[in-house]
Copies of this chain bind each other. A is one copy, B any other.
Amino acid sequence: MTHPTSSGPRHAILREVGLRDGLQSVATIVPTAAKLQWIRDAYDAGEREIEVGSFVPPRLLPQLADTAEVLAFAQTLPGLKASVLVPNLKGAERAIECKAEAMLLPLSASYKHSLANLRKTPEEVVADIARIRDARDAMGAKTKIEIGISTAFGCTIQGDVPEDEVVRLVKAVLDEGVDAVGLADTVGYADPAQVKRLYEKVLRVAGDKLDCAHFHDTRGLGLANCFAAWEMGIRRFDASIAGIGGCPHAPGASGNVAMEDAAYMFASMGVDTGLDFDRLIALRGRVGQWLQGEALHGNVWRAGLPKTMKKEAEHA
């Protein structure tokens, strides 16, 4: 895997995180059957990476209590990479037992956010990650370990997060042998100039192990930040249908980058994502029904595709 610049290969992967990052921050509990339909519809719309849930104690996140069942269904769809979030060794062991393609471990670059959110210092989380890798290897499992560096662009509790601290933590987890690292703007503080600067710094130490960008659209910069990361050669982006989600520690948060908006932007740029726009919009409508009363986000559903892109679809 190499890191092409924006003049390189013109394809991108958009990973659906609505079923985890989305659902964990809304009050509604979506029935398992609806989640399976969501995954089936997302798959039919061309999605090939979905974060299907989180192995956390059900009393903390009852919305995600059915993660094992949801994961099992996702694994029946050919070519779909189903990942789960795990907060600790116990969760990781479940992910490994369930043969998840990948498990995502959050590591806050903000010391204060780490204490508030995980009740651990970043160093303690790095030590956990090492134990999780040991456990994975001892079990002979293939589940990939992906680290999401959260609050990489700033923190609602601590404020500034030094870029050097992000670089230091990326180095630390790479030294522990993790498979991939992504940077996450957990609270919607990132701007596109900062995105380019920080990705450049982290790419210097991580190379192609840094392969994901997770932006929230809290202040309307989600897509601008995706574009900035794209220009740095990043080809994998988290997004959620209707932009559902957000961080409970980010007041006023307006959620993740909307999958359908990101799909539109990249398609307009001539970047292949494998996604079917009309099917995404149809799924958005169903998600809106499952989450009645919850805020939906995104822009392009209102205006629809430009005439220039509709024509292409008609010719296809």
Contact = CB atoms under 8 A, between A and B. Distances in A.
A193 interface: yes
Contacts of A308: 154, 159-160, 189
Nearest to A306: B189
A58 interface: no
A303 B251 CA distance: 7
* Copies of this chain in the oligomer: 2
10 contacts: A154-B307, A154-B308, A159-B311, A187-B306, A189-B306, A193-B268, A193-B269, A217-B299, A220-B223, A220-B299
Interface string A187-210: 111011110000000000000000
A88 interface: no
A300 interface: yes
Interface in A249-275: 251-254, 258, 261, 264-265, 268-271
Given A154-B308, A159-B308, 12 more contacts: A154-B306, A160-B308, A188-B306, A192-B224, A193-B270, A194-B268, A218-B303, A219-B300, A220-B298, A220-B300, A221-B268, A224-B227
The size bracket of the interface on A is: 35 or more
A261 B159 contact: no
Contacts of A265: 191-192, 220-221, 224
The 10 residue pairs across chains A and B that have the minimum distance between CB atoms: A220-B299, A252-B303, A191-B268, A193-B269, A224-B224, A219-B300, A189-B306, A192-B227, A223-B224, A159-B307
Interface string A289-304: 0000000001110111
A193 B223 CA distance: 12
A187 B308 CA distance: 12
A6 interface: yes
A254 B299 CA distance: 9
A30 B76 CA distance: 60
A228 interface: yes
Interface string A212-243: 00000111110110111000000000000000
